[in-house]
Amino acid sequence: MSAIDLQLDSQGRLLHFLSVEGLSRHHLTEILDTAESLHGVAERRVKKLPTLHGKTVVNLFFEASTRTRTTFELAAKRLSADVLNLNIATSSTSKGESLLDTLRNIEAMQCDMFVVRHSQSGAAEFMARHVKPHIAVLNAGDGCHAHPTQAMLDTFTIRRHKPDFPALRIAIVGDILHSRVARSLIHALNILGAGEVRVIAPRTLLPVWVEQLGVQVFHAPQAGLRDVDVIVMLRLQRERMERALLPSEQEFFQQYGLTEERLALAKPDAIVMHPGPINRGVEIDSRVADGPRSVILEQVTNGIAIRMAIMSITLGNHARPAEENA
């Protein structure tokens, strides 16, 4: 069973959320529509729904990420789940426990959902492959492989501004090579039928898979940003760059940083996105990050609705009779 099949039951319903790859437009639209209906909850006086009351969600973070962990924690609490935060780096793996033993033990505590963040590609898939049938696994970022909830909140943000995907021209700018965000987002945009997806990056920061995904490759923002509807700036993953592929942050900003001048190349109503946290003056100028075209903070807000949606859908599908999930 491949990773792609792993996240669906025999009737094609979502049991885990590991990767955007292999999902259909139907799956993505179900998530986006559910998130839309949940988006208003945060504006109510009482921001809670009883959907996951009595369920236990475990944040299994093998790699620190306060921001991502926090949005999953808030999403789970707003669905009335109990949340357990396990920072595994400081936990029993230091006593030599293997990943599988850790999984088996937390599973035995009768939890219902694992939110997994790991520095190694495939960790969430490994979990989903070995976990008991009643447990849902969500990938909160695994190595350079995938960050599918980020891709969904990005497409959700785009759809709320520009719902006609076939008409859209979208540019993704920066360190594509080390970005699990870019990879997942390109898959999502392809599945949703986006008109044109471009990547803009120096040759050294372009992975080999880019051309297989049918994206347009640009090395200079001057050409790549022209007439686009959406600009997605990537974070320069300093901690992920193992050796100097770029002379300096200053030079990166000079060549690729999003300034007001470069933004003017895009359509007048283009939106500017970034997964955060932003490096001001490295990927993006503050005037753009804080300017009227920026939807960067909307992305944060949308991230909670998207995670609530994915939690509701996957656990809802687990609640059906066991034989259906076999």
Based on the shown chain and the rule CB under 8 A, indicate whether residue 243 belongs to the binding site for its own copies.
no
Among 105, 248, 250, 255, binds its own copies (CB under 8 A): 105
Based on the shown chain and the rule CB under 8 A, indicate whether residue 46 belongs to the binding site for its own copies.
yes
Based on the shown chain and the rule CB under 8 A, indicate whether residue 56 belongs to the binding site for its own copies.
yes
In this structure, are residues 184 and 150 in contact, taking their beta carbons and an 8 Å threshold?
yes
Based on the shown chain and the rule CB under 8 A, indicate whether residue 47 belongs to the binding site for its own copies.
yes
Q: What is the dihedral of CA 137, 56, 58, 179, to 10 degrees?
A: 50
Based on the shown chain and the rule CB under 8 A, indicate whether residue 107 belongs to the binding site for its own copies.
yes
Q: What Å distances lie between residue 155 and 147, 188, 213, CA to CA?
A: 13, 7, 17
Residue 310 tokens read as: 């994915």
Based on the shown chain and the rule CB under 8 A, indicate whether residue 298 belongs to the binding site for its own copies.
yes
Based on the shown chain and the rule CB under 8 A, indicate whether residue 89 belongs to the binding site for its own copies.
no
What is the CB neighbour count within 10 angstroms for residue 87?
13
Kindly provide the b/e burial profile for residues 23-39, where b requires at least 16 CB atoms within 10 angstroms of the residue's own CB.
beeebbebbbebbbebb
Based on the shown chain and the rule CB under 8 A, indicate whether residue 292 belongs to the binding site for its own copies.
no
Based on the shown chain and the rule CB under 8 A, indicate whether residue 321 belongs to the binding site for its own copies.
no
DSSP for 146-158, written as a single string: B-HHHHHHHHHHH
Based on the shown chain and the rule CB under 8 A, indicate whether residue 108 belongs to the binding site for its own copies.
yes
Among 7, 59, 71, 157, binds its own copies (CB under 8 A): 71
Sign of CA dihedral 104, 84, 13, 144: negative
| Binding letters toward its own copies, positions 198-217, x by CB under 8 A | --------------------
Chain residues that interact with its own copies, rule: CB under 8 A: 42-48, 53-56, 64, 66-67, 70-71, 73-74, 77-78, 82, 84, 86, 90-92, 95-98, 101, 104-110, 276-280, 297-298, 300-301, 304, 319
